[in-house]
Amino acid sequence: MSLSVASARPLRLSTAEADFETRFAQRLHWSAETDAAIEQRVADILADVKARGDAAVLAYTQRFDGLSAASLTELELTQAELKAAFDGLPPAQRDALQQAADRIRRYHEAQKKASGESWTYRDEDGTLLGQKVTPLDRVGIYVPGGKAAYPSSVLMNAIPAHVAGVGEIVMVVPTPRGEKNPLVLAAAYVAGVSRAFTIGGAQAVAALAYGTQTVPKVDKITGPGNAYVASAKRRVFGQVGIDMIAGPSEILVLADGSTPPDWVAMDLFSQAEHDELAQSILLCPEAAYLDEVQAAIDRLLPTMPRAEIIAKSLNGRGALILTRSMEEACDISNRIAPEHLEVSSREPHRWEPLLKHAGAIFLGAYTSESLGDYCAGPNHVLPTSGTARFSSPLGVYDFQKRSSLIEVSPAGARRLGQIASVLAHGEGLQAHARAAEMRGDA
């Protein structure tokens, strides 16, 4: 079969076929390749920035971004510049950015209230137990430059940090040859970024992790980036916290056939247009509906400015899968643990309880993933590549940490001292035992 560039034929599969498991596993397969040359260059850049600070960051910024400056201070964006970028936007963009930020803030405030507050309780003997939840002091947010410069990512990273109460939010964004993206700067203003530097790559990650004369050392670094940035984040992990390292973006649509096929086709496109490695999968128990979606793909694809990327993604990694039932579709979804999961059904609340693993669940035909990407409120930084089995969307909790609180009463010390003494002796740790006994005997 030969395909023209702008024709998209996602793989057709059926769970009833004998070779389904094999073909499906092949389609899902993706593995992060680590490139030894990149690894070595990143290690060198990190060591150099650690040793020489500002001077090294300036040298790499000149070399990789074609941007010269006499000092790193020149590469800091002032709050006035950020505000000017916002004020200078067309009113529709300014309003959209502000409304998106307001909704994202509201959602993350609810998240903080539901799961991010300190708590304590007292035992019957007066012993106090609990956890104190506190914000990180200072975080770094990496924002890619160039073609992948997404102002929405600035909102999604900075607003949860702000809601958490982080003292200082430091943004880095490369501006190759000095070209600044006004929407990114405006988003930084709306989201409450404290300081911003026009630096990027491994050198920016190093500056945030170790601190330089000009760039303050942070406690955690979040935000997406290319292979150099991902490698640098892995390497500084432990020295600072990091968020997840993202793989290609994915959408899984569970459809019962009730949603207009054009809508589903466009949702598959909206994932595919990100990147030719992005993955769009549709699961449905109605064969005729899969045909209708394919027809919608054929009809709509030529109208898309990014048709070529969409076609490559759908042809290389997409799939339209006929299932025996919606229940089976839910089972398959749980095996994939997709980043984005649309339940495009008349009865989304019937299926939602069956769905165990997903970054974000979009319920009902009106809930297109793109609304979630920009402005519904929840975070668009989500676990990819099946990591939703064990990890969560970026949230306020990523910008907080917890400290256990314990205050043992004199009565509690007698009771607990006996238990601890027995167990400590059992582990051969006599100082632990004595420390516990001393309090109990007092």
Contact between 332 and its own copies (CB under 8 A)?
no
Between CA 365 and CA 378 the distance in angstroms is: 18
Confirm whether 39 is a catalytic residue.
Answer: no
- 280 touches 313 (CB < 8 A): yes
CA 259 to chain centre: 28
The minimum distance between CB 65 and its own copies, in angstroms, equals 21
Q: Which of 121, 124, 177, 302 binds its own copies (CB under 8 A)?
A: 121
Q: Which stretch binds its own copies (CB under 8 A): 9-17, 129-137, 198-206, 325-333?
A: 129-137
Binding span for its own copies by CB under 8 A among 16-24, 48-56, 78-86, 114-122: 114-122
Residue 325, interface with its own copies (CB under 8 A)? no
Burial class (CB in 10 A: 0-12, 13-18, 19+), 313: buried
274 is in an annotated binding site: yes
Spot the catalytic one: 340, 369, 380, 437. 340
Q: Is-contact 366 386, C-beta < 8 A? A: no
Q: Is 36 in the site for its own copies (CB under 8 A)?
A: no
Task: Yes or no: say if 323 and 284 are a contact pair by the CB < 8 Å rule.
Answer: yes
Interface with its own copies (CB under 8 A), residue from 28, 43, 96, 277: 96
Residue from 111, 212, 294, 345 touching its own copies (CB under 8 A): that is: 111
Q: Is 130 helix (H, G, I), strand (E, B) or coil?
A: strand
> Which range in 17-25, 48-56, 203-211, 416-424 contacts its own copies by CB under 8 A?
416-424
- Establish whether 239 is an annotated binding residue: no
Containing H/E element for 222? strand 220-222
Binding to its own copies by residue 354, rule CB under 8 A?
no
Q: Does 427 bind its own copies (CB under 8 A)?
A: yes
Structure-block tokens of residue 150: 């997404």
| Residue of 314, 312, 335 lying closest to 323 (CA atoms) | 335
Question: What's the CA gap between 269 and 370, in Å, rounded?
Answer: 11
Q: How far apart are CA 189 and CA 378, in angstroms?
A: 20
* Residue located via tokens 């207009």: 260
Catalytic residue (choose from 250, 273, 292, 339): 339
Q: How far is the CB of 9 from its own copies (least distance, A)?
A: 17
Kindly list the distances between the CA atom of residue 124 and the CA atoms of 18, 121, 319, 412, in Å, as whole numbers in the listed order: 62, 10, 59, 9
> What is the rounded CA–CA span in Å between residue 138 and residue 226?
23
* H-run or E-run covering 44: helix 36-52
Read off the tokens for 15: 């769970």
Answer yes or no whether residue 434 interacts with its own copies by CB under 8 A.
yes
Is 249 annotated to bind ligand? yes
Q: Which x/- pattern, by CB under 8 A, does the window 157-196 give for its own copies? A: --------------------------x-------------
232 interacts with its own copies by CB under 8 A: no
Contact present, 120 and 151 (Cβ < 8 Å): no
The answer to whether 279 is a known ligand-binding residue is no
Q: Does 305 bind its own copies (CB under 8 A)?
A: yes
Q: How many residues bind its own copies (CB under 8 A)?
A: 127
Residue 168 pairs with which residues in a beta bridge? Answer: 138
The rounded distance, in Å, linking the Cα atoms of 199 and 207 is 9
* 261-280: contacts with its own copies (CB under 8 A): 262-263, 266-267, 269-270, 272-274
Stretch of 44-52, 60-68, 76-84, 393-401 contacting its own copies, by CB under 8 A: 393-401
425 is in an annotated binding site: no
432 is in an annotated binding site: yes
> Could you confirm whether 357 is annotated as catalytic?
no
Helix, strand, or coil here: 242? strand
Q: How far is the CB of 424 from its own copies (least distance, A)?
A: 6
User: Of 58-66, 189-197, 321-329, 426-434, which part binds its own copies (CB under 8 A)?
Assistant: 426-434
When asked if residue 401 is in the footprint of its own copies (CB under 8 A), the reply is: yes
- Which of the residues are catalytic? 339-340
